[in-house]
């Protein structure tokens, strides 16, 4: 039973009780939080108007009855709808950066974000360089790139106008409209014809890559997201084939293509056995994100 709203409670106590509530509901995680405790922290931090990490410094603070009642109401909504928490709160955090979030686009998440923030991509990010974020969705990776490297220019494209409207809100939120161009179109169709003056030093892409069998087994939280942002065809490689086929035309001589493929390592190896690949180490391991240098694509 949920505590009475008039009952005094610390932030930490509220988080603990919401954690128990979520754990009992057989939810699925992975949309910005790894488990029930992470989501409980996120729920309470929103009521405090703090980031989840900032909230950790306020665990002994007393929570007002109104705020703890609202926190439990959010938890109830999370359980009853099975929607990602980011959609319910209208906000998600990626690498400590806040992003507006709605059901018009996928929830911000990508292992590529780790590589942007930890500096792993610097060899392919020259001063005044040009970067392309294919399948930008909510714009979070393009924004992290721009924030990490203020001297580069980022083009970000997507086939979905609703997703691009979310990306535009996020670009405005972080005051990056002069550094990021948003383009609408189906992969390369969003871009002008390549020539020696408009090539990219780095192309990053977190494309739809979930194979058909896995799509059929997704829990409700993933089904709440646009399937356009997830489904990658029978073997998950449909868009990746198109990306790899034309990437060489858009890359500078020393450029590179960075792709997230998630759990599709075996399908990628089967589809592209001839391409030399650099596997990038992220927190999930060494088989989720790959880098291909331009010279190995030609």
β 130-134/200-205 pair status: parallel
Distances (CA, A) of 151 to 72, 128, 145, 165: 44, 5, 10, 25
> What are the start-end ranges of the E strands in 103-151?
130-134
Distances (CA, A) of 252 to 127, 151, 157, 207, 275: 14, 18, 19, 21, 18
pLDDT at 221: 94
**C-alpha closest to that of 138 among 206, 200, 187, 186:** 206
Q: Where are the domains of the chain?
A: 9-89, 102-296
Please say if the pLDDT value at position 6 is more than 60. no
**Beta bridge mates, 112:** none
Integer Cα distance of 29 and 93 in angstroms? 14
**pLDDT (mean) for 55-61:** 94
User: CATH: 3.40.50.2300, 3.40.190.10, 3.90.550.60, 3.40.50.150. Which one for 102-296?
Assistant: 3.40.50.150
Integer Cα distance of 41 and 38 in angstroms? 5
**C-alpha closest to that of 14 among 27, 1, 26, 3:** 3
**C-alpha closest to that of 64 among 121, 8, 125, 4:** 8
Burial of 25 (C-beta count, 10 Å sphere; 0-12/13-18/19+)? middle
Kindly report, residue by residue over 242-266, the tens digit of the pLDDT.
999 999 999 999 999 999 999 999 9
pLDDT at 4: 53
In 139-296, which ranges are continuous DSSP H helix?
140-148, 161-173, 212-215, 220-223, 238-250, 265-271
* Cβ atoms of residues 229 and 208 within 8 Å: yes
Integer Cα distance of 266 and 121 in angstroms? 24
Percent of the residues in the chain that have a pLDDT greater than 90, as a whole number: 94
Q: Would you say the CATH fold of 102-296 matches that of 9-89?
A: no
pLDDT at 2: 59
pLDDT at 298: 83
**pLDDT (mean) for 128-135:** 96
pLDDT grade, residue 196 (50/70/90)? confident
pLDDT grade, residue 163 (50/70/90)? very high
Domain 9-89 has CATH 1.10.8: yes
* Cβ atoms of residues 184 and 178 within 8 Å: no
* Cβ atoms of residues 176 and 150 within 8 Å: no
């Amino acid at each position: 039973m949920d505590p009475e709203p008039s009952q005094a409670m610390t932030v930490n106590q509220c988080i603990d009780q919401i954690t128990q509530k979520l754990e009992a509901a057989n939810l699925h995680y992975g949309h910005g939080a790894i488990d029930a405790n992470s989501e409980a922290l996120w729920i309470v931090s929103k009521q405090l108007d703090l980031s989840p990490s900032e909230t950790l410094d306020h665990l002994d603070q007393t929570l007002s009855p109104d705020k703890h009642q609202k926190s439990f109401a959010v938890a109830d909504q999370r359980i009853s709808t099975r929607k990602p928490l980011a959609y319910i709160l209208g906000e998600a955090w990626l690498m400590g950066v806040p992003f507006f979030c709605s059901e018009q686009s996928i929830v911000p998440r990508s292992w590529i974000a780790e590589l942007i923030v930890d500096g792993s991509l610097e060899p392919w990010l020259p001063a005044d360089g040009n970067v392309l974020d294919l399948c930008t969705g909510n714009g979070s990776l393009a924004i992290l790139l721009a924030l990490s490297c203020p001297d580069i220019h980022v083009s970000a494209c997507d086939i979905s106008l609703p997703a691009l409207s979310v990306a535009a809100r996020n670009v405005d939120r972080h005051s990056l409209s002069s550094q990021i161009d948003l383009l609408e179109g189906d992969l390369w169709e969003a871009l002008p014809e390549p020539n020696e003056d408009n090539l990219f030093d780095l192309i990053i892409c977190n494309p739809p890559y979930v194979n058909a069998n896995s799509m059929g087994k997704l829990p409700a939280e993933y089904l709440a997201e646009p399937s356009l942002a997830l489904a990658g065809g029978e073997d998950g490689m449909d868009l990746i084939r198109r990306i790899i086929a034309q990437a060489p035309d858009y890359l500078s001589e020393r450029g590179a293509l960075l792709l997230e493929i998630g759990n599709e390592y075996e399908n990628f190896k089967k589809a592209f056995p001839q391409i030399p690949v650099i596997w990038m180490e992220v927190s999930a391991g060494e088989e989720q994100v790959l880098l291909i240098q331009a010279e190995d694509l030609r």
